[in-house]
Amino acid sequence: MAANRQNPHNSTKGLVAVFTGNGKGKTTAALGLAFRALGHGHRVCVIQFLKGSWNYGELDAAARFKPLLEFHVMGRGFTWKSEDLEKDKESARNAWDFAVKTIKENRHELIILDELTYLCRYQIIEEEALLTVLKNKPATMHIAITGRHASEALMQQADLVTEMREIKHPFQLGIQAQKGMEF
């Protein structure tokens, strides 16, 4: 009979998850959440802030989950290899504006903001703007944020924070990125 009683601590609340650190797996963890949410019929939106026009495996997989999954690659590539940093920053700001609009529209149960931490770190957007959007997000919406160098303020505001720590990586042995593992 005790199993039938309502647990007062079991409430529905949209969570903010942050996957950060120098280790591999931040985007992979967030996409795992997406896959889980899709399995429950939830609507998911992935917004990638820095990844460019590479042919990532997740893009091909995302097409199979339409209309429940929206996937937006809005960056121009990795900024440390940039040919035009100002255009990269403009693309990132446009992606941020799109993310804010998407959050306010409240059409998704989960929104993934992939590599968003870099926008605050490099002062492309104000961190206070991010924290305000998270504070005012729809009450039941989950948001996952990925990227290295998550700030202390972001981690304090989040409900879940996981740090990926690099211990060993095949690139250190001269093994290049491979389909199905890195992209």
Which of 22, 94, 136, 140 is catalytic? The answer is 22
Torsion of CA 63, 73, 77, 28, to 10 degrees: -70
Indicate if 78 belongs to the active site: yes
Nearest-CA neighbor of 50 among 74, 23, 84?
74
- Asked if residues 112 and 38 have their Cβ atoms less than 8 Å apart, the reply is no
Which of 55, 64, 66, 80 is catalytic? The answer is 80
Indicate if 115 belongs to the active site: yes
Which of 26, 76, 89, 137 is catalytic? The answer is 26
Which of 78, 98, 102, 183 is catalytic? The answer is 78
For residue 171, report the phi and psi dihedrals to the nearest 5 degrees. -60, -30
Which of 4, 10, 13, 36 is catalytic? The answer is 36
Sign of CA dihedral 177, 17, 45, 73: negative
Indicate if 36 belongs to the active site: yes
Which of 109, 115, 137, 146 is catalytic? The answer is 115
Which of 24, 43, 121, 148 is catalytic? The answer is 24
Structure tokens at 154: 């972001």
Which of 20, 27, 79, 117 is catalytic? The answer is 27
- Asked if residues 158 and 16 have their Cβ atoms less than 8 Å apart, the reply is yes
Tell me how far the alpha carbon of residue 130 is from its chain's centroid.
13
Indicate if 26 belongs to the active site: yes
For residue 76, report the phi and psi dihedrals to the nearest 5 degrees. -110, 5
Q: Quote the CA–CA distance of 140 and 30 in Å, as a whole number.
A: 18
Tell me how far the alpha carbon of residue 99 is from its chain's centroid.
11
List residues with catalytic annotation: 22, 24, 26-28, 36, 78, 80, 115
